Structure 1
Amino acid sequence: MNVFRLAGDMTHLLSIVVLLLKIHTIKSCAGISLKTQELYALVFATRYLDLFTDFISVYNTAMKVIFLATSFSIVWYIRSHKAVRRSYDKEQDTFRHYLLVIPCFILALLVHDKFNVREILWTFSLYLEAVAILPQLVLLQRTKNVDNLTGNYVFLLGAYRGLYILNWIYRFMMERHYRQWITWISGVVQTALYADFFYFYIRSWKNNERLKLPE
């Protein structure tokens, strides 16, 4: 494992810690899209089907368990915890996320490396992860003013994918025959979706002001 992969994993993990800190400590999910969290839960559930069949390393298994457990716990918190649920902005979080699930699944059936159930679902998870942030970005666009924890959460999610791109570049340069076109393209699409948010996040950070998205 190279430093970019490790940094990407730790950044991804930190984004979840920030979100759980907001939900568990402050008892608020204001500005957080339940639709995006449900999509991430589906991403991890379909990606880690090998959890109990293929052992790679303790680190790999631990990360899979953490991402599965935290993604479903976040969904549970927003849906079922009374104090947290009251702060959920259901009227603004109206993105029809099934419109992302269905095309991603169809695309996985058409474009994949191997035609078997596990491979199709793994490919589906890549396509879905690439666009899972869309409901969250739409929600932030509607609410305009973004609190620090929510802004940091979204920024860290985007940074994690950016670090993974550096990981792929490093591996391409260091490993012969390393080619993962589906993973690469999905990751680039995912990172590109954050571009507008990154710009306003960095600008607000430089000016030491609250993050505000444009009209």
Structure 2
Amino acid sequence: MRAPKRPIQAVSTWVRRQPPKVKAFLAVISGMAALVLLRAIVHDHDNLFVAAEAVHSIGIAVLIYKLMKEKTCAGLSLKSQELTAIFLAVRLYCSFVMEYDIHTLLDMATLATTLWVIYMIRIKLQSSYMEDKDNIALYYVVGPCAVLALLIHPSTSHHIINRIAWAFCVYLEAVSVLPQLRVMQNTKIVEPFTAHYVFALGVARFLSCAHWVLQVLDTRGHLLVALGYGLWPSMVLISEIVQTFILADFCYYYVKSVFGGQLVLRLPSGVV
């Protein structure tokens, strides 16, 4: 006699059997339910943005722990870390010339730790770096973001270079995790610390996206007008949503793996 399935296992089995359109519908419903919950329990929605940066920092702390304890960078994407350093550096520049606040200090700390991770992968732990798996060319990611920033950027009173730089870091942040997802797609097996790190990125992206969506709802769309005119306000919101959905599939399998008691995450074909 087979043991009864746990509720989470039963639900995940049912979801897996559904056609893609049903899965997409369930994902949208789940996201909307989470937004409603956050709106009810978080009164100052600016705290969601701070929470997103805090979760990102926790993810990097997990990554640093992995590098120091296990003395290996296997499964990590150097290119994702380099893209992260690029958009953080550009965002810091924009913060200094456009607005200086607590987010500037948080970005400085995140950039410093990201540069340390890059140093560890490139120099100290180079022998364990899976270069053949980390095979997305950076210009395929940076180039389109730069072109898009030239075409669609804020219409504020700041200098045109600063406005283009601001748009560039928004677009680059949205896709900076793609090389890391490619590494995991190529290896199919993700060890715990890397999985924790990528899941933290997914949670951070969702909180950041929730911040923007709830701000737009609370201001009845006036926030989009405050960002400028043209396509830029919509592109900011779209970039946040893209970041969230890029990581949504991985986060689903991560949660399923944790509840199933698996230490190593095994991704099926087609994920990420």
TM-score with structure 2 setting the length: 0.73
Highest RCO, 1 vs 2 (Cα 8 Å, sep ≥ 6): 1
The whole-number CA distance in structure 2 between the counterparts of 1:61 and 1:19 is 22
Residue among 146, 150, 163 paired with 1:105: 146
Query: Are residues 1:36 and 2:87 paired?
Result: no
Residue among 69, 75, 79 paired with 2:112: 69
Query: Cα offset for 1:182?
Result: 2.4
The whole-number CA distance in structure 1 between the counterparts of 2:251 and 2:111 is 27
User: Quick one: which amino acid aligns to residue 163 of structure 1?
Assistant: L
Q: 1:90 to 1:128 in 2, by over 3 A?
A: same
- 2:162 counterpart residue number: 118
- 1:91 counterpart residue number: 132
Deviations 1:84-105 (A, max 9, x none): 2121111211111211111110
Larger Rg over CA atoms: 2
The whole-number CA distance in structure 2 between the counterparts of 1:118 and 1:24 is 37
Q: 1:72 to 1:4 in 2, by over 3 A?
A: same
Deviations 1:151-209 (A, max 9, x none): 01001001101011211133223346211422211111111111221121111111111
Could you tell me which runs of 5 or more consecutive residues in structure 1 were left unpaired when the two chains were aligned: none
The whole-number CA distance in structure 2 between the counterparts of 1:164 and 1:144 is 28
The whole-number CA distance in structure 1 between the counterparts of 2:104 and 2:248 is 31
- Does the residue aligned with 2:147 lie in a helix, a strand or coil? helix
User: Quick one: which amino acid aligns to residue 35 of structure 1?
Assistant: K
Residue among 183, 197, 221 paired with 1:153: 197
Query: Cα offset for 1:45?
Result: 1.3
The whole-number CA distance in structure 2 between the counterparts of 1:32 and 1:178 is 37
Could you tell me which runs of 5 or more consecutive residues in structure 2 were left unpaired when the two chains were aligned: 1-43, 225-232
Whether the 8 Å contact between 1:37 and 1:71 is mirrored in structure 2 is: yes
Q: List 4+ stretches of structure 1 deviating above 6 A.
A: none
User: Quick one: which amino acid aligns to residue 137 of structure 2?
Assistant: R
User: Quick one: which amino acid aligns to residue 62 of structure 2?
Assistant: V
Query: Are residues 1:138 and 2:182 paired?
Result: yes
- How many residues end up aligned between the 2 structures? 212
Whether the 8 Å contact between 1:201 and 1:211 is mirrored in structure 2 is: yes
